[in-house]
Structure 1
Amino acid sequence: MTNTTSFDWRPFLLRWSGEWSDSLSDDETRSAKDEAARRARWLGFPPASEERIAAMEERLGRRMPPSYREFLKVSDGWQHAGGFIWLLAGTTDACWHNNESGLADVFEEYLDDDAGPDERREVDVWRRGLQLDVESDITHVLLDPEDVDGDGEWAVYTWASWRAAPPERYANFAEFMRGMYQEFHGLRARPADGEPEFANDTTRELDALVEQARLDALRGDWERAGHALDEAKEYGRPRAVGLGDQIRRLLGRTYMVYFEGVVTDPQYAPELLPALVAEHAAHSYRDDSTLMFHLGRAGDDVVSLAYATLEQVRNGTYRYTAAGAFGEAVERARELARWGSTDGAWRTLMDALPAWQPLGPDLLAPLGWVADPLLGPLLTPERGRELLSTPRGGQTGEAPIRSAGLDPDNLTWLADPEHHDDLTSYRFVLVEGVEPEDLPGRLADGNETALGDPMTSHEARHRLLRGQREFSSYDDKALMAIGRAGTRWSFAFDSDPAHFAPHRFVSPAAAAGAGTRAVVVWSGLRTWRGEPFFHLSVAQGGAEQYTFTYADGELRRTGEIPQALDPDRFFGSREEGTEAERSLLEAMTREFGVHLPRHAITNGRLHTFTTRSWTRPPGNGETYAVISTNWDTSH
């Protein structure tokens, strides 16, 4: 915010006037007033005397706010405030608006009954505000005598219907004028054909600021860089937006992030296009006109690359690649991520990041990986800050504080509804000494042993239902995601199992445990689908060792159950719910030395397959239903 008590108006206004004059072409047609201002290199007017200001205040019945008063002492009014206000009021022209525009009535129509003070203020300012716009492109400028800070400054509100945006608020008149100066710069930053190059002391200072921000960002000082780039962006400096958007995207901010001025450059498109395309694909349904709009005047090669990348992103086949040692780390990270080790994948990328080299001077960090279906889910705002804090691209700096891992080294997170309210029922199989890709051979038959591409649980279920026309009440084939559950174990996990029917349930533990050990869990202690239940079965060498099932308030068990897992410890008092579930999962973590990767299961993409049915076939005299449909189940 501008410090209005020490703001020096005269040098600021002189610089503005000189830069405005120099921005005009010699053969441009202009009014006599503009030509006089150009020759004089002064957009203002003679200063207002104290007597003249006092007379204005007497006429209006209010003492003017400090920054507007000090401005009037230097110039009694102003021409070309920004690009759309041609004449700003001085002591003679300032007047109470008194809703002359009718905007108070217009804005009042949109107020809800429970509108707060800020919304009410935006309506009433049109009745009580002091109007400063004298000549403009339908742009209103009002000082609000009721929106006053501790220094006696009045807020300024501006509004133009053609901007299709709410009124913009400035803390005081000095802030407003600084904003208009920035707007003037932003409109001149890219001169049209025939206009003189817009270069002056201010642009040179800002461009030097941008270059320093680029180096700061590569050294890991992204916060300093971000502030500098934001300031330069307000002045429309060409590189500031594209560089700043890279920081914003890695912090998880995607709104209005288009990598302007960089993404259309063939040198940078391979790294930036995927991030832009992935965000577009996530929020559009085959309407690609907005994507092409943001690519602006991109050449045919960039447009072709954009369409090709878009198809890959939508099909889930986009694969990020990079050069050198960082590229090798990308391949290792992808392999870790596809089996659920998202924390390990992230550490692999971060350990190699100092070796990363940008494709050119306007690239601050690797970005294409956020579109990769396996690597993209690794990003969180905290991890984005770690990446941005890591020196890279040949620069040196302090090593960043490592971001915390996302995966607990236990099973108990499954009992924590804070992280996943919808995971009230789940089932999983753990197999010791077996690679994840070998699980389908133990739990499925025939063509169903083939692994699907890594997908989120939602995507996998959507694809499973696509084209399915028949559903049996006895058929309970589980769609399971697979990965590693520790150094010696693999897992298959179903986050949305069918209804648990104890009298028909057949545990897959024996089949899964052929030649090794297998553990099966099915929990519904927090389910809304009937009574709470929990099942555990453990097999060794293809035969069940022990099982227990808690359902309908009763316990059934077989075999010799280890004391640590004795169900009486957890259900002896028939206590149900989260505490019993948490205690059981904690005991299993210790007993088997296993964990499940929370982030990969809830947010990542994993290979999936469909198991054999978890229920037995119907017996003699038992009835069941088969539902056939002819409607499209993919929607």
Structure 2
Amino acid sequence: MTDTSEDWRSLLARWSQEWADAQDGDPQDRDEEPLRTRRLGFPPAPEERIRELEERLGHRLPPSYRTFLAVSDGWRHAGGFVWVLAGTGRARWHEDAAGLSEYFPGELRDDSTPGDELLAGMWGRALQLDVESDAVYVLLDPGDVDEAGEWAVYTWAPWYGDMPRRYGSFRTFMEAMYREFHRLRAGAPERGGPVFDNATTRALDASVTAARLDALGGRYERAAEALAEAVAFGRPRATGLHDQLRRLRGETYLVSFRGLAADPVYAAEIVPVLAKEHARMHRDGGLTAHALPGASDAVRVGADEILRQIREGTYRYTAEGPFGRAVEEARELARWGDTDAAWHTLRAALPDWRPLSSEHLAPLGVLADPLLGPLITPDRGRELLATPRAGQPGDTPPPTADLDPPGLAWLADETPGTSRTSYRFVLVEGVAPADLPSRIAAAGEPTDLYAPTTPQSAPTRFRAADHVPPWADTALAAVGRAGPGWSFAFEARSHWNVDERRFVSPGLAASRDTRTVTVWSGPPRDHRPGFFHLSVAENGEERYGVTARGTTAEHRGPVPESLRLPPDGPDEHGRYERRVLEALATEFGVRLPRFALTRGRLHTLRTRPWNRAPGPGESYVTVRLVPHRP
């Protein structure tokens, strides 16, 4: 940041000329002189007058305000809402004249931040610079000083609707007001005002055009910097482009895409992203006029349909050409849990992606796809943006790390649902996930899988069903691929009431003409020891198994040494559980997809009971929970 007299002269002269050129109609009384002279400032303050002000205040003024006064002793039209800014003769202590210290930040507490403490004292010690304004206070704070001796500037108005705004120095404040002037004037043609065209706007518009090519070439950080500057000046194309970069980096706050959603050319790509955020924030209601200003009836009707699909989880992102084919391939991988492979497929096809038109920077709509959207983490969004697209030259970035750890051992550390919950699963060899219902589903259940859903929205509240006995312990299990040639059915819960006397592995029935692996683990709970069951079945019979409770265990059949319980039994840290999971992964070449089970969407089914019916004379107490079909 520069702050010499020449720097001030250059900024203030440019500001004055652009302001004068932008005026239209009859000026107000206070504008007659600046229009005539084409100067928003005043004659410079002599050094003697600046020193007199410092003596009156008992402070040496901060460097940028002091240098400003030596160029212009005050200012008119600082932004759109401060009409006269004080020079040496009208600057005065504020002394909390408006009583705002009562409200901002309010009463200090033990956990108040240093910023709260600064703000609390600012109202009583600050120098007030606003002379005429639209109820805007401009306060220069001698208690908030940086290493260069600059005082922070705070502004506030009743219509802000939020906390006071802070600027690091008077120079920073004035530069922000210059940008505010540009933003307000940039929208004048839309309101019937004059076209706002000058050297500054032309240079900014040229930077937007260059930023678009930078973004398509993978140089998104440079593009984002240029676009952010253009957005601050209100350039019309900048926000739509910049918001695309922001959203792919994981930002959602005030992302509107500036009219692109209302444009029929881009609506199919942009509306789903807005609809997804709307559905996340609001349970009902359509996309508001604020989200689609100026949209045609056709776009609005299409938006309502997209919002319905988003809420029901049936929206599908599509694209043309090779990238579109990669989208379909990636979706098929993702719905069975192969989310890393799905991302690799999308990433490899990114160079083949083509924009809808000149305001389109990336396949943004994929973020709204219920299966593919969760794959685009902020890191992957940045990787996407760093990949050259649309035929633009550029360097391919190194890939981000995969999200899924290999094997099964991660279950010993973190289980889907909550930290260290119970979990149970069945792995079936040689059977596709879509065919698992015929092997493992409860009697009376449909022969197809439930639609993909998230762990959070999967049915967790249940109703009675006629075909489910009240004693039956069925699992609502997520389904997918568990590695080459294997499928899984997995359920996690915070607790289970395990009764080993009535336990029946659903893997037995599922193992006809193949092999299955069944695991059930529950950590210690309420002074009860942990529980761990492992069994391997083939052709309807258990080949071997281990059932451990605390430090005791039962071994059945020829259990491999790597899976046997150590002499001192399982320990409270789960080392035995981890060792068994690692051995299973090595022995059978299996894995479970952590990302899909915790953050993705997977098909589900309700398994056959994990227990047998009560025998003669046996009683039971249970609460049966039966899932709604999605």
CA-to-partner distance for each residue in 1:435-491, whole Å, 9 max, x for gaps?
A: 1111111112343432000111232224x6267699976211111111111112111
- Find the counterpart in structure 1 of residue 330 from structure 2: 333
SS in 1 for 2:226: helix
SS in 2 for 1:8: helix
Tell me by how many angstroms 1:375 deviates.
Answer: 0.6
SS in 2 for 1:162: coil
Tell me by how many angstroms 1:125 deviates.
Answer: 0.8
Residue 321 of structure 1, aligned match among 312, 315, 318? 318
- Find the counterpart in structure 2 of residue 242 from structure 1: 240
- Find the counterpart in structure 2 of residue 281 from structure 1: 279
Matched, 1:268 2:266: yes
Residue 594 of structure 2, aligned match among 598, 615, 619? 598
Distance 1:535 1:145 in 2: 69
- Find the counterpart in structure 1 of residue 199 from structure 2: 201
Matched, 1:21 2:17: no
In the alignment, is the contact (CA less than 8 A) between 2:83 and 2:132 conserved in 1? yes
| Within-5 A mapping of 1:521-540 | 521-525=519-523, 530-540=528-538
Distance 1:324 1:432 in 2: 36
| Within-5 A mapping of 1:72-83 | 72-83=69-80
Amino acid in the other structure paired with 1:9? W
Higher mean C-alpha deviation, range 492-501 or range 353-362 = 492-501
Distance 1:143 1:193 in 2: 34
Matched, 1:488 2:472: no
Tell me by how many angstroms 1:504 deviates.
Answer: 1.2
| Within-5 A mapping of 1:276-425 | 276-288=274-286, 291-417=288-414, 421-425=418-422
Distance 1:633 1:330 in 2: 30
Higher mean C-alpha deviation, range 619-628 or range 510-519 = 619-628
Amino acid in the other structure paired with 2:231? K
Higher mean C-alpha deviation, range 106-115 or range 190-199 = 106-115
In the alignment, is the contact (CA less than 8 A) between 2:128 and 2:137 conserved in 1? yes
Tell me by how many angstroms 1:381 deviates.
Answer: 1.2
Higher mean C-alpha deviation, range 490-499 or range 96-105 = 490-499
Tell me by how many angstroms 1:276 deviates.
Answer: 0.9
SS in 2 for 1:394: coil
Matched, 1:58 2:52: no
- Find the counterpart in structure 2 of residue 620 from structure 1: 616
Tell me by how many angstroms 1:383 deviates.
Answer: 0.6
Tell me by how many angstroms 1:79 deviates.
Answer: 0.4
Higher mean C-alpha deviation, range 434-443 or range 558-567 = 558-567
In the alignment, is the contact (CA less than 8 A) between 1:239 and 1:261 conserved in 2? no
- Report the RMSD for the aligned CA atoms in angstroms: 2.2
In the alignment, is the contact (CA less than 8 A) between 2:45 and 2:72 conserved in 1? yes
Tell me by how many angstroms 1:238 deviates.
Answer: 1.2
Q: 1:108 to 1:249 in 2, by over 3 A?
A: closer
Distance 1:6 1:518 in 2: 81
Higher mean C-alpha deviation, range 259-268 or range 134-143 = 259-268
Amino acid in the other structure paired with 1:19? E
Tell me by how many angstroms 1:574 deviates.
Answer: 4.2
Amino acid in the other structure paired with 2:535? S
Tell me by how many angstroms 1:427 deviates.
Answer: 0.6
In the alignment, is the contact (CA less than 8 A) between 1:448 and 1:611 conserved in 2? no
SS in 2 for 1:405: coil
Distance 1:420 1:22 in 2: 62
- Find the counterpart in structure 2 of residue 427 from structure 1: 424
Q: 1:547 to 1:193 in 2, by over 3 A?
A: closer
Tell me by how many angstroms 1:498 deviates.
Answer: 3.5
Amino acid in the other structure paired with 2:619? T
In the alignment, is the contact (CA less than 8 A) between 2:415 and 2:421 conserved in 1? no
- Find the counterpart in structure 1 of residue 159 from structure 2: 162
Higher mean C-alpha deviation, range 224-233 or range 544-553 = 544-553
CA-to-partner distance for each residue in 1:474-518, whole Å, 9 max, x for gaps?
A: 211111111111112111111227422111110122211110111
SS in 1 for 2:223: helix
Unaligned runs of 5+ in 2: none
- Find the counterpart in structure 2 of residue 455 from structure 1: 453
Tell me by how many angstroms 1:371 deviates.
Answer: 1.0
Distance 1:258 1:599 in 2: 29
Higher mean C-alpha deviation, range 206-215 or range 83-92 = 206-215
In the alignment, is the contact (CA less than 8 A) between 2:65 and 2:171 conserved in 1? yes
Unaligned runs of 5+ in 1: none
Q: 1:359 to 1:260 in 2, by over 3 A?
A: same
Residue 253 of structure 1, aligned match among 243, 251, 254? 251
Distance 1:276 1:23 in 2: 35
In the alignment, is the contact (CA less than 8 A) between 1:158 and 1:168 conserved in 2? yes
Amino acid in the other structure paired with 1:313? I
Tell me by how many angstroms 1:626 deviates.
Answer: 6.8
Amino acid in the other structure paired with 2:22? S
- Find the counterpart in structure 2 of residue 183 from structure 1: 180
Tell me by how many angstroms 1:193 deviates.
Answer: 3.8
| Sequence identity percentage | 53
Tell me by how many angstroms 1:529 deviates.
Answer: 8.8
Amino acid in the other structure paired with 1:132? L
Distance 2:589 2:610 in 1: 26
CA-to-partner distance for each residue in 1:529-555, whole Å, 9 max, x for gaps?
A: 943010001011221101110025421
Matched, 1:172 2:160: no
Matched, 1:219 2:217: yes
Distance 2:417 2:450 in 1: 24
Q: Count matched residues.
A: 626
Higher mean C-alpha deviation, range 492-501 or range 263-272 = 492-501
SS in 2 for 1:480: strand
Amino acid in the other structure paired with 1:174? R
In the alignment, is the contact (CA less than 8 A) between 1:548 and 1:558 conserved in 2? yes
SS in 1 for 2:205: helix
In the alignment, is the contact (CA less than 8 A) between 2:563 and 2:579 conserved in 1? no
Higher mean C-alpha deviation, range 575-584 or range 531-540 = 575-584
Q: 1:94 to 1:586 in 2, by over 3 A?
A: same
In the alignment, is the contact (CA less than 8 A) between 1:425 and 1:527 conserved in 2? no
- Find the counterpart in structure 2 of residue 43 from structure 1: 40
Distance 1:467 1:270 in 2: 42
In the alignment, is the contact (CA less than 8 A) between 2:129 and 2:138 conserved in 1? yes
Distance 1:357 1:364 in 2: 9
Distance 2:103 2:403 in 1: 49
Tell me by how many angstroms 1:418 deviates.
Answer: 9.1
Tell me by how many angstroms 1:35 deviates.
Answer: 2.1
Higher mean C-alpha deviation, range 618-627 or range 464-473 = 464-473
Matched, 1:588 2:584: yes
Higher mean C-alpha deviation, range 30-39 or range 232-241 = 30-39
Distance 1:552 1:56 in 2: 81
TM-score, reference length from structure 2: 0.95
- Find the counterpart in structure 1 of residue 539 from structure 2: 541
Distance 1:543 1:627 in 2: 30
Q: 1:530 to 1:292 in 2, by over 3 A?
A: farther
Distance 1:506 1:384 in 2: 45
In the alignment, is the contact (CA less than 8 A) between 2:506 and 2:607 conserved in 1? no
- Find the counterpart in structure 1 of residue 572 from structure 2: 576
- Find the counterpart in structure 2 of residue 132 from structure 1: 129
Higher mean C-alpha deviation, range 293-302 or range 276-285 = 293-302
In the alignment, is the contact (CA less than 8 A) between 1:449 and 1:610 conserved in 2? no
Distance 1:339 1:7 in 2: 65
In the alignment, is the contact (CA less than 8 A) between 1:525 and 1:581 conserved in 2? no
Tell me by how many angstroms 1:633 deviates.
Answer: 9.2
- Find the counterpart in structure 1 of residue 606 from structure 2: 610
Distance 1:70 1:363 in 2: 44
